[in-house]
Structure 1
Amino acid sequence: MKIKVIIHPAEEGGFWAEVPAIQGCATQGDTMEELLDNLHEAVEACLSVDLAHVEISEHDKVLELAV
């Protein structure tokens, strides 16, 4: 999956980034390397779903879709 992010310089130093396609998904880092690591974690966390709270019947199937 490819997703666009917007990287901004932070006023206090370092960087912060937002992911417009995922509402509320943003992170920061002191260096570009740290920011990129944090972006991977943030996107994964924003897209993860806890199925424990989802009602699934015995006739339903859960699939993972890679895009």
Structure 2
Amino acid sequence: MKLQVILEPSEEGGFTVYVPSLPGCISEGDSREEALANIKEAIALYLEPIEDDALVAPNAQLLEIAI
């Protein structure tokens, strides 16, 4: 899977990076490389399935789809 990210220099130093297609998925790092490594981890956590979320409604189903 490929996602576009926005990498911006921070006023305090370092970099901030976010994923426009994943609202709230944002990270930062002291260097460009660190910021990109951190956003990869943030994306993985953002997309990690949470089985409890599927159990909110009694008739809910947990499904997997390929994207």
**TM-score over 0.5 (shorter chain):** yes
Partner Cα separation in structure 2 for residue 19 and residue 5 of structure 1: 5
Q: Once superposed, which parts of structure 1, at least 4 consecutive aligned residues long, lie more than 2 Å away?
A: 60-65
The two structures, once aligned, show a CA RMSD in angstroms of 2.0
- Please list every run of 5 or more consecutive structure 1 residues that lacks an aligned counterpart in the other structure: none
Identity of aligned residues (%): 37
Counterparts of residues 2-41 of structure 1 (less than 5 Å): 2-41=2-41
Letter in 1 for 2:64: L
* Deviation, structure 1 residue 61: 6.4
- The 1:47–1:19 alpha-carbon spacing in structure 2 relative to 1, beyond 3 Å, is same
Please tell me the residue identity of whatever aligns with 1:51. E
TM (norm. structure 2) is: 0.79
**CA, structure 1 residues 22+12, in 2 after alignment: closer, same or farther (shift >3 Å)?**
same
Unaligned runs of 5+ in 2: none
**Alpha-carbon deviation of 1:64?**
5.5
1:46 aligned onto 2:52: no
CA distance in 2, matches of 1:44, 1:10: 23
Q: Distance in 1 between matches of 2:62 and 2:52?
A: 14
